Amino acid sequence: DLGAVNSYQFLFALPVIFAVSLFYGGFRPLTINFILITLYMGSVGSSVAYFIYWSLIKKYNVSHVSPYLFAVPAFSILFSTFLINESLDLLSLAGFSLVAFGIFVSSR
């Protein structure tokens, strides 16, 4: 069941993320803005993404759709560069290129 798999992913990732965040600087106080954005992205953003993903799976073979999931971190880097003016370093650009090449190779 896909819902169970996703639940297990989140369940097992939570302690790891918690430990890493403690190691790299602890926690910041929660603000209402952070809570609202997190709720929005967790509900609306994820719902739209899953709807698009499952619509594509119904239309195309899963082996052609799934490799594009690897593009999410690459596009996150690009969007953060343009939207919030984060610097785009050579390592990030190399990672983006490797992801694009991997998607190209796996799509053939």
Percent of the chain residues past pLDDT 90, beyond the cut:
5
Per-residue pLDDT for 33 more than 80?
yes
Query: Where is pLDDT greater, at 36 or 29?
Result: 36
> Which structural domain range is residue 97 located in?
62-108
Q: Between the CA of residue 94 and those of 62, 63, 90, what are the distances in Å?
A: 27, 25, 6
Query: How many independent structural domains does the chain possess?
Result: 1
Distance CA 103, CA 100 (A): 5
Q: Name the pTM for this structure.
A: 0.52
Distance CA 106, CA 100 (A): 10
Examine residue 37 and state whether it is found in any structural domain, yes or no: no
Find all residues with CB under 8 Å of 63, minimum gap 6, and list them.
106
Distance CA 68, CA 102 (A): 10
Per-residue pLDDT for 8 more than 70?
yes
Per-residue pLDDT for 68 more than 90?
no
Examine residue 43 and state whether it is found in any structural domain, yes or no: no
Distance CA 4, CA 34 (A): 27
Q: Between the CA of residue 76 and those of 4, 49, 79, 80, what are the distances in Å?
A: 26, 14, 5, 6
Examine residue 38 and state whether it is found in any structural domain, yes or no: no
Per-residue pLDDT for 50 more than 90?
no
